[in-house]
Amino acid sequence: MVDSIAITADLSDPEFLQNPYPALARLRRETPVARVRTAFGFDAWLLTEYELVRESLADPRLVRNVPGEVDPIRQGIPGGGAAVAGRDFVPPSVLDTVDPPEHTRLRALVQPAFTSHRVDGLVGRIETVVAPLVDELAGTPEWDVIPRIAYRLPLAVIGDLLGAPRGDDLELMRITAGLLAEDTDEDSFMAHRVALHSLRDYLVALIAEKRRQPGPDLTSTLAEAVPASDEVAGYELVSLLVNIVVAGYVTTGNMIGSGVAALLTHPDQLALLREDRGHIPSAVEEFGRIEAPFTSVLAFAAEDLAYGEVAIERGDAVIASLTAANRDPARFADPDRFDITRTDHGQLAYSRGIHRCLGSHLARVELAVFLKLLLDRFPVLELDCAPEDLRWRAIGEIRGLRAVPVRTA
C-alpha cells in the first residue's frame, strides 16, 4: 500500500476556490486519495472518486472525534481546544461534530420535524412564507439574488418552523450576518463567534417564550421535552436550534444563488423549465449536483485503515469531496454539463449515512416552491453581469456566490 505524504494539492489556493473542478478532475484521474493542504492549514487525505466518497460517508471507522485527540480545526481556533469545549462557545453544527451514541440521541429529538411526510404537509405554509419575499421584488428591475432572496427565504422558512414571530427573518439576518464572514483570519472567527452568541441569545429568549406560551412549532416541542432545570440538556437544546438555523440558512441560501446563476448562464435550460414546470424536481437535484453548497465532509480515522491503495493512520483527517464526487464521469454522464432533465440521480450534495443532512427534503421543497414562484412572477429574468464576473467565497466547507445580479425587465 502507498503511504506517501507528499502534498499534491492546496485547497486554500484562491484559484481553487473560484474553479476547483479542473484540479479535482486531475486528482480523481491521477490520485483519487490525495494528500492535500486545507484552508485551515493542516494536511488531510482527500477522496475524489464517487464510489470512494460514497463509501466513506457511511464508514463507521471515520468519526468526528477520535478519543483522546483534538482535531486540527479546534487546535487552530484562537483560544485552542479549550475555547471550543467551554460553554462560552456555541457549536455551529453540534450534530455534525459528535458521534454515536450522542449523535443518535440528539438527532432523534429533531428527526420527527423533518420527515418527508411532515415537510410535504408544510408546502402551503412554505408558499405563504416565500410568496411575499418574491412579491417584494416586483417593480424592481435590477436586484441581487443573494441578499434580497437567497438568504431571507430559508431564514423565513426556518423561523416559521421554529415558531419565531412572522417577519423576524430580517432580524435573524442582522443577527447572523457575521456567519457569512469568510474564514480568513482571527477577525473572521470573532465575527462568527459574535453571530453565534447573538443567535444563541435570540433562541434562548424564544425557548423561554415557548415555555410560557407553547404552540405547534419545533421549539415548543423540544422545550416541552427538555426540563428547564436541566442545564446540560438546555445547552444541547440551544445548540440543536443553532444547528438547524445555520445549516438551513447558509447552505440553502447558497444553493438558491448558485441554482439561479446556473439557470441564467444556461438559457436553454431556463427556457425548458419555463415550458415544463414538471422539470422542477430534477432541476433542484441538478442544482445540488453541479454546485454542492457543502463542498466536503471532514472526518478522522478512528483506526488504521486504507482507501484504495493508500494507508491512512489513526487520527488522520479524511475529506470526502462531495464536489468532486458529483462530477465523477464514472457516475454521471458528461458531468460538467448542467442538465435539468438528468435521470441519473444519486448526487451526494446532502451527504449520506448517519450525518446525512437532516433538512435535505425541506431544502428541496423550499427550492421547488421558490423556483415555481420565481418563474410565475418574472417572465423576464436575466443575469446582469458577465458569467465570468460571478465570484465565489468560502465559509469553512461551504462555498457560495458573493452576488448574483439579475434584470427582470
pLDDT at 118: 85
Q: How far apart are the first and last CA of the chain?
A: 60
pLDDT at 83: 37
* C-alpha pair distances (Å), 73 with each of 217, 368, 409: 34, 35, 46
Band (pLDDT 50/70/90 cuts) for residue 5 is very low
Give tens-digit pLDDT for 123-145: 888 898 889 989 989 889 999 99
Closest CA to 17 of 184, 139, 214: 184
Strands 43-47 and 317-321: parallel
pLDDT at 194: 83
| 123-135 and 360-377 helices, crossing angle to 10° | 40
The C-alpha cell at 180 is: 457569512
Q: Does the domain formed by 9-408 have CATH 1.10.630.10?
A: yes
Mean pLDDT of 336-352: 93
Is the pLDDT assigned to residue 352 strictly greater than 50? Answer: yes
Mean pLDDT of 24-37: 92
Run of H or E residues at 399: strand 398-401
Residue 10's DSSP bridge partners are 37
Work out the burial of residue 357: count CB atoms within 10 Å of its CB; fewer than 13 is exposed, 13-18 middle, 19 or more buried.
Answer: buried
Band (pLDDT 50/70/90 cuts) for residue 297 is very high
CB of 250 within 8 A of CB of 180? yes
pLDDT at 10: 66
Is the pLDDT assigned to residue 86 strictly greater than 80? Answer: no
Is the pLDDT assigned to residue 77 strictly greater than 60? Answer: no
Closest CA to 119 of 224, 4, 252, 266: 252
Give tens-digit pLDDT for 179-207: 777 655 667 777 777 888 888 889 999 99
pLDDT at 335: 96
How far apart (Å, rounded) are the C-alpha atoms in residues 335 and 393?
23
Work out the burial of residue 406: count CB atoms within 10 Å of its CB; fewer than 13 is exposed, 13-18 middle, 19 or more buried.
Answer: buried
pLDDT at 265: 97
